[in-house]
Amino acid sequence: HITPEKFYVEACDDGADDVLAIDRVSTEVTLTVKKDVPPSAVTRPIYGILGTIRLVAGTYLIVITKKKKVGEIFSHAIWKATDFDILSYKKTMLHLTDIQLQDNKVFLSMLSHVLSVDGFYFSTTYDLTHTLQRLANTSPEFQEMSLLERADPRFVWNGHLLREFAAQPEIHRFAMPVMHGFITMHSCSINGKCFDWLLVSRRSCFRAGVRYYVRGIDSEGHAANFVETEQIVHYKGSKASFVQTRGSIPFFWSQRPNLKYKPKPQISKSVNHMDGFQRHFDSQIISYGKQMIVNLVNQKGSEKPLEQTFAKMVNSMANGMVRYIAFDFHKECSRMRWDRLQILMDQLAEQQDEFRLDKEMSVHTTKGFLKKKSNLLSSNCMDCLDRTNVIQSLLARRSLQAQLQRLGVLHVGQRIEEQADFEKIYKNAWADNANACAKQYAGTGALKTDYTRQVSLSCKSQPSGTGKRTQWGLIMDGWNSLIRYYKNNFSDGFRQDAIDLFLGNYSVDEVEPASPLHVQKDWKFLALPIIMVVAFSMCIICLLMAG
């Protein structure tokens, strides 16, 4: 309910009488009741509060205006937020100068850009930020906490926007943690036995950003493009969970865009890599237990120093909880020899079997490495997108095979790839997961998804030297690569700024005299265009006046 003085947010639960009153002048947030809402207020439905943010014009309230039901997890409804609105506390913009108005417009466009990226999910009754394994090992006190208090801060994308709500426990029920990533749910049947199969990818908001602007780790050990992917099976009250993670290679390196198709990675020489590296794996071990790292980067060319440094640092750390396997994905699978992925699967089979527990299975994957909870498989590579997704889908399939046999869904000797209906669901879900993660990080759909949509775990059954890639898949990979090149070089700066603003890595100062949006460029930025124009003009003149 909107009035010139306040926003009134009414709870629509059955029997609820609470109303959140937000003062548009003082920004004070209090609780009141329905009878206090003025009849003259303009009323509209919303589905949740994303939070508040300060821009040049003052404070703004961000609300969810459209939602789409994804499905249910254990009878809890899960929603995707599909549209948002940004409401100004100020009733007029007359207090702003023309420059301030323009700056405010740019900041609003940044927020709108972040909110336009698909993949914001929430639930009013279920904690989406934690895996089943973490939720199964919680105290009664934890269960009684509000969703905002108990949420894993790594995966709460509106944590900064909700900071003022977090300071007031009495209004926590109006503050919903929202995760960013991908969720799909399917009711499946094999051998006449019905079960629920879910795939959940949670994107970390720590060291978040876009492809070439955010690489490696920060001083706290947070890896760029860190995504936790959980595969859940629910059958007759029994639950099985398999967790993998992916993330950038965990030391200090960069790969800034410079118009080259593939900029050369630069390993920092001015910092102590081991401090951040150690923090990263300390955190991983606390969260997931033993770590099995699978490094998928090229072992020659510009990626070779990254693989060598990674292996050297794991050896130097000498931690028995961390194991390391390097697999040159592009070399081994060159000329579409996808059957050679079985080499890696055979290497990992023993480790994955060792990681299997009676009540839980967990695997962590980053582009190039694998980890696990209580034992985790973690994969690392350059982008943690295309190569990583292929490997993660194979590992998840192997785990699912064992889980469904243990639950009694699959008979002894049966294989998942023989179940045509479920196979189609499985392959498409993992390909959709790849596309979602790629669009959020690189700005385009994933590469190699034609392989993911067709891949069979029994790679040995494929003739040597052949693969499951299609001509159309290769064309689409080329198109996506071209789009990535353009975005990475010419539009990702804006995308990175937008993410930093949304997550609170940059805060707008209303009284700051010099806006970062108006940086004066010196003559060096004009030199190359001027030289090019003069050279082109002289060329045309010479052609026209050759005589």
Instruction: Encode pLDDT of 498-533 as tens digits.
Output: 999 999 999 998 666 677 887 766 666 678 788 889
Residue 370 has pLDDT above 60, yes or no: no
Average pLDDT of 394-416? 94
Average pLDDT of 216-238? 96
Report the amino acid identity of residue 210: V
Q: What is the pLDDT of residues 156-189, one digit of tens each?
A: 999 999 999 999 999 999 999 999 999 999 999 9
Gap between the Cα atoms of 390 and 395, Å rounded: 9
**For the CA atoms of the chain, what is the radius of gyration?**
26
**What is residue 35's predicted lDDT score, i.e. its pLDDT?**
93
At 334 the three-state DSSP class reads helix
How would residue 452 be classed by pLDDT, with cut points 50, 70 and 90? low
Residue 436 has pLDDT above 50, yes or no: yes
Residue 459 has pLDDT above 60, yes or no: no
Q: H/E/C letters for each residue in 410-442?
A: CCCCCCHHHCHHHHHHHHHHHHHHHHHHHHHHC
**What is residue 348's predicted lDDT score, i.e. its pLDDT?**
87
Closest by CA to 250, choosing from 319, 159, 332, 200, is 319
Which of 543 and 458 is assigned the larger pLDDT?
543
Average pLDDT of 294-309? 94
Q: What are phi and psi of 325, to 5 degrees?
A: -130, 130
| Contact call for residues 80 and 184 (beta carbons, < 8 A) | no
**What is residue 326's predicted lDDT score, i.e. its pLDDT?**
93
Average pLDDT of 204-220? 95
**What is residue 437's predicted lDDT score, i.e. its pLDDT?**
93
Q: What is the pLDDT of residues 49-75, one digit of tens each?
A: 999 999 999 999 999 999 999 999 999
| Contact call for residues 293 and 322 (beta carbons, < 8 A) | yes
**What is residue 202's predicted lDDT score, i.e. its pLDDT?**
98
Gap between the Cα atoms of 434 and 71, Å rounded: 20
Q: What is the pLDDT of residues 533-542, one digit of tens each?
A: 999 999 999 9
Quote the percentage of the chain above a pLDDT of 70: 89
How would residue 379 be classed by pLDDT, with cut points 50, 70 and 90? confident
Residue 334 has pLDDT above 60, yes or no: yes
The encoded tokens of residue 69 equal: 């039901």
Residue 438 has pLDDT above 50, yes or no: yes
Gap between the Cα atoms of 539 and 537, Å rounded: 5
Which of 59 and 454 is assigned the larger pLDDT?
59
Q: What is the pLDDT of residues 119-135, one digit of tens each?
A: 999 999 999 999 999 99
**What is residue 366's predicted lDDT score, i.e. its pLDDT?**
35
Do strands 29-33 and 18-23 pair parallel, antiparallel, or not at all (unpaired)?
antiparallel
